[in-house]
Amino acid sequence: MLFCIIMKTIIEPFRIKAVEPIKFTTETERNHILQEAGYNPFLIKAEDIIIDLLTDSGTSAMSAKQWAGIMDGDESYAGSRSFYRFEEMVRLITGMKFIIPTHQGRAAEKILFSIVGEHGKVIPNNTHFDTTRANIEFAGAEAVDLLNEAGKHPEIIADFKGNMDIEKLEAFIQERGVEHIPLVMVTVTNNSGGGQPVSMQNIKDIRAVCDQYGLPLFIDACRFAENAYFIKKREQGYADRSILSICQEMFSYADGMTMSAKKDALVNIGGFLAMNNQELAMQCRNVLIVTEGFPTYGGLAGRDLEAMAQGLEEILDESYLHYRIRSVEYLGDKLLAAGVPIIEPTGGHAIYIDAKRFCQHIPSYQFPGQAVSVALYQKGGVRACEIGSVMFGKYDENQQLIPPPMELVRLAIPRRVYTQSHIDYVAEVIIEVFQNRNSLKGYQIVYEAPMLRHFTARFAPLA
């Protein structure tokens, strides 16, 4: 830590003990692979990817202590020691009374919304992540985003672009009626809105509105530690606070949380649901038993709980978070220097290319984000993820696309996986594609599923 402070170079606060080979492909091979995959990077085999930035979810490198925990996990069906270690760690960070393990974040969402969501109900959030939105809609309820205005403009530089618009929240509650709102949610950091953080003040303000109307507040907490780091660095009064105490304060304003442990718990699988309301927790556990498993393992093995507990301890390390946020910023700086339009400032876990500005000649209905992500694979074998009209586009009664506010391409950086030279390579690929952006063509969808279409859709390039 001291070394990092004295020297200008920020180094990875770990050394590498096990490596995985990367297979190299040629551009001709990748053209063929793309055709086979219907121009959808989700449908490309992972072994055909050179640098995989599709997601930071479940892609972390685990530590030696986590792997040791995998061996040490207690696989008892009920009352596993690993559950109690996990529960203790989650309680230390969040203060939540009832902690319910699930196999991943969306399972926690599914359980929660199968209980509180039904036709006529509506759930506000800064920005719902796609699985959260899908689970709410699947339960028959409506998901509404109330992001602050700055968060919708990639070029505006502000400290907390993930904040919820408090005035809109109040107006929304009054317009829809408290009786239709089972809970308010806030996502930290705001994944679908650029990985931008939410300030402590905003969380406090949301809490105050919730108190005024007697509504519970739930945090979608996947990247809680990255959010806490931003609070420490950017919000007045937090510079001398430990990451743990900032996290504890964040969660003290909430009544419950959903968590995908595949992000800030540094594991490859896992999640949980936590809350203070006993009645709701009992209902959730009843659903859990039917859909996931016994309450002391959820949808997981004891070893997974052990790895989560260890990961939650490691994520609180400030030198890790410093390296983590800086390495994302490093890629952002290189792209900005070359004129590549990205969401500014860079967020916690990913770089978001602004595809609207990147290829201005491709309209939303021809999916500019898809065009950029396909080109990144074609040029350099880099896999990214479209977060725009493919993922969030809706259609009106005339089948005209209603695009989301932003057309983005997300390059999510897996935790503790790639080195600086990998990131330099990624920058080179993006810059090369950007310099030839006028040659990019739009796409049309030739197959789509009724929900979460981006995972399985197939595309054809337009002439």
Ligand X SMILES: Cc1ncc(COP(=O)(O)O)c(C=O)c1O
Within 8 A by CB and 6+ apart from 202, the residues are 160, 163, 164, 166, 186
- Stretch binding ligand X (CB under 6 A), from 104-112, 230-238, 303-311, 394-402: 104-112
342 - beta bridge partners? 353
Indicate whether 129 belongs to the interface with ligand X (CB under 6 A).
Answer: yes
User: What CA–CA distance (Å, rounded) separates 58 from 63?
Assistant: 14
The answer to the question of residue 127 lying near ligand X (CB under 6 A) is no
What DSSP line would sit under 373-413, residue for residue?
A: HHHHHHHH-EE-EEESHHHH-EE-TT--EE--S--EEEEE-
Q: Does 187 bind ligand X (CB under 6 A)?
A: yes
User: Can you tell me which of 60, 191, 364, 378 binds ligand X, judged by CB under 6 A?
Assistant: 191
**Closer Cβ to ligand X, 166 or 452, answer by number:** 452
The only residue of 271, 302, 341, 345 in contact with ligand X, by rule CB under 6 A: 271
Nearer to ligand X, 165 or 226 (CB): 226
For 180-219, letters b (16+ CB in 10 Å) and e give: ebbbbbbbbbbbbbbbbbbbbebbebbbebbeeeebbbbb
Least distance (Å) between residue 88 CB and ligand X:
22
Site string for ligand X, 329-368 (x = CB under 6 A): ----------------------------------------
CB of 107 to ligand X, least distance (A): 7
Cβ contact 354:406 at 8 Å:
yes
Q: Does 260 sit near ligand X (CB under 6 A)? A: yes
From the list 11-19, 102-110, 321-329, 419-427, the region that binds ligand X by CB under 6 A is 102-110
Q: Does 162 bind ligand X (CB under 6 A)?
A: no
Query: How many chain residues are in contact with ligand X, going by CB under 6 A?
Result: 14
Using CA atoms, how far apart are residues 142 and 460, in angstroms rounded to an integer?
32
Query: Closest residue to ligand X, Cβ-based?
Result: 105
Under rule CB under 6 A, residue 104 binds ligand X = yes
Distances (CA, A) of 13 to 378, 400, 432: 33, 50, 31
Residue whose structure tokens are 């008892």? 76
CB of 145 to ligand X, least distance (A): 12
Shortest Å, Cβ 272 to ligand X: 10
| Nearby residues of 54 by Cβ (< 8 Å), 6 or more positions away | 41, 42, 383, 384, 385, 412
Give the x-and-dash track for 5-44 against ligand X (CB under 6 A): ----------------------------------------
CB of 219 to ligand X, least distance (A): 10
Q: Helix (H, G, I), strand (E, B), or coil: what is residue 273?
A: strand
Name the residue type at position 272: F
345 upstream amide cis, omega within 30 of 0:
yes
First to last CA, the chain: 54
Residue 100 CB, nearest approach to ligand X (Å): 14
Residue 125 as a binder of ligand X (CB under 6 A): the answer is no
Give me 59's structure tokens. Answer: 């892609």
Residue 196 interacts with ligand X (CB under 6 A)?
no
Least separation in angstroms between CB 251 and ligand X: 16
Closer CB to ligand X, 328 or 371, in the complex: 328
Among 66, 80, 131, 364, binds ligand X (CB under 6 A): 131
Long-range contacts of 141-149 (CB under 8 A, 24+ apart): 141/113, 141/117, 141/182, 144/172, 146/172, 147/190, 147/193
Amino acid at 199: S
Q: What is the 3 state secondary structure string of 46-76?
A: HHHCCEECCCCCCCCCCCHHHHHHHHHCCCC
Residues in region 52-71 near ligand X by CB under 6 A? 57
The least distance separating ligand X from the CB of residue 131, rounded to whole angstroms, comes to 4
Select from 128-136, 239-247, 421-429, 436-444 the region that touches ligand X (CB under 6 A): 128-136
The piece of 100-108, 171-179, 295-303, 319-327 that touches ligand X (CB under 6 A) is 100-108
Query: Which residues 6+ apart lie within 8 Å of 418 measured at CB?
Result: 51
Applying CB under 6 A, does 226 fall inside the site for ligand X?
no
Of the two residues 305 and 359, which places its CB atom closer to ligand X in the complex? Answer: 305
How many other C-beta atoms lie within 10 A of the C-beta of residue 155?
Answer: 10
Contact between 144 and 123 under an 8 Å Cβ cutoff? The reply is yes
User: Where on the chain is the footprint of ligand X (CB under 6 A)?
Assistant: 57, 104-106, 129, 131-132, 187, 191, 220, 222, 260, 262, 271
